[in-house]
Amino acid sequence: MRAGGRPSRAHRTSPLTGIDAHRAGVERLLASYRAIPSDADVRLAKKTSNLFRARAHTTAPGLDVSGLGGVISVDPQAQTADVAGMCTYEDLVDATLPYGLAPLVVPQLKTITLGGAVTGLGIESTSFRNGLPHESVLEIDVLTGSGDIITATPEGRHSDLFWGFPNSYGTLGYSTRLRIELEPVKRYVALRHLRFDSLDELQSTMDRIVGDRTYDGIPVDYVDGVVFTASESYLTLGNQTDEGGAVSDYTGRNIFYRSIQHASVNHPKTDKLTTRDYLWRWDTDWFWCSRAFGAQNPTIRRLWPKKLLRSSFYWKLIALDHKYDIGDRLEKRKGNPPRERVVQDVEVPIERTADFVRWFLDEIPIEPLWLCPLRLREPAPAGASSQRPWPLYPLEPKRTYVNIGFWSSVPIRPGEPEGAANRLIEDKVSDFDGHKSLYSDSYYSRADFERLYYGGDRYTELKKHYDPDSRLLDLFSKAVQRR
């Protein structure tokens, strides 16, 4: 704990890039697009990615996005920001917090980009009241497959692209600028960790909190949960406050998710973090995945440089593992079979959550699990469909879902097909009237995939309109593991 109510570490400085620098970045992007041969797939020229599925290999040059990594401007009166598409949430948060503002949804890892969260998956503990990152977008500039940069708005000429862009994963184009809403935030987040020995009680309590936005008479601004076993699970409730006092620091030797387990069924644990440290509470240990690198071993952690306790460094370790098969080689030396990567986020209706988690704990040897409730924002933006406003992101309005995240691996059993555990999960998610995000391995047939993710004919129509020469991969080719 650190007394005095001061932030546990200073903010990084992130100067605004300004419109002139952004325009220069866009010009470099367009020049790089023109340099790509007409018969080559268009891709980003970036070495890092928050995607876990394999990336396409090509010798053609990629799009130069080096000038699209900053915050262009912040308007504190309008509570909006203009942001370049490759800007990370770490830089975005550092640019808005000095104004007492933050994005409506801040995904858990610092390296996630705003453009990536809007065209793919983005979720966090405000999603029960603020929805998903694309729902706070007011307008978006997109470099389409045809090589044009267009501005899409909810009711403008290109409104079809505005509504169809989320969950297209770069197959309709790449965002160069996004104008987003911001919301006021206070200096601290006060936390309550509630323990449950029943998944049904966890589910019903979470459902009430989403509806009431309070618990035990105290407002709830943030809510997520962790399941360790069927008889040990937690909800963490946060409310914004300017009240000073001692704050915790989980950016070093102390581990956030382990601190949650200090709560008991009858005695919730309380805690307080600075708002910045709360937003990045999961990044220091990549939730709990840093344990795979030994970073949670007390002896190793003492020696581990604090600046490398962050998701961006863990990504480098993952890249080395993929390149040299380090994990499977170590397992082989121990006499163990290779392992199947099971890194997924799925969403099921809240009333099915306990049943799905029970099934998962019985069938898939992975723990803990992350839970995060979400609802589409209400009221929906002007121009939205009353049924499914975001056609490629199949969520029903006025319905609560729970995102369930699990990120690990399981032993491969001899004789089973490739991706056996992932295939089993895909089938079960459909049985539970849910769906899964597409940042990791997928094994759907084309027919099933198009039924689930193409929004009827909407994706095909958008593809023909904005990428008529198929310069960009189609969604099935990009999202489903190639075999």
Give, for 301, the enclosing helix (H) or strand (E).
helix 298-303
Q: Are 2 and 271 in contact (CB under 8 A)?
A: no
* Mean predicted lDDT score pLDDT of the chain: 90
In DSSP terms, 88 is beta-bridged to 113
When pLDDT is cut at 50, 70 and 90, the band that residue 7 belongs to is very low
Three-state helix/strand/coil letters over 113-150: EHHHHHHCCCCCCCHHHHCCHHHHEEEEEEEECCCCEE
- Residue by residue, DSSP assigns 42-67 as --B--S--S--SPPPP-SS--B--TT
* pTM of the complete model: 0.92
Q: Are 330 and 409 in contact (CB under 8 A)?
A: no
Q: Give tens-digit pLDDT for 434-444.
A: 999 999 999 99
Q: Give tens-digit pLDDT for 447-465.
A: 999 999 999 999 999 999 9
Q: Give tens-digit pLDDT for 196-233.
A: 999 999 999 999 999 999 999 999 999 999 999 999 99
Q: Using the predicted structure, report yes or no on whether residue 342 has a pLDDT greater than 60.
A: yes
Share of the chain above pLDDT 90, in %: 79
Cβ neighbours for 211, distance < 8 A, ≥ 6 positions apart: none
Domains and CATH numbers, the chain: 18-184 (3.30.465.10)
Q: Using the predicted structure, report yes or no on whether residue 402 has a pLDDT greater than 90.
A: yes
How many Cβ atoms sit within 10 Å of the Cβ of residue 383? 13
pLDDT computed for residue 327 by the predictor = 66
Q: Using the predicted structure, report yes or no on whether residue 8 has a pLDDT greater than 50.
A: no
Token pair for 452:
């689930």
pLDDT computed for residue 43 by the predictor = 84
Q: How many whole angstroms separate alpha carbon 97 and alpha carbon 95?
A: 6
Q: How many whole angstroms separate alpha carbon 210 and alpha carbon 410?
A: 33
Q: How many whole angstroms separate alpha carbon 86 and alpha carbon 66?
A: 8
Q: Give tens-digit pLDDT for 271-323.
A: 999 999 999 999 999 999 999 899 999 999 999 999 999 999 988 888 776 66
Q: For the CA atoms of 306, 295, 1, 209, what is the dihedral angle to 10 degrees?
A: 120
Q: Using the predicted structure, report yes or no on whether residue 85 has a pLDDT greater than 70.
A: yes
pLDDT computed for residue 6 by the predictor = 36
Sign of CA dihedral 206, 211, 212, 214: positive
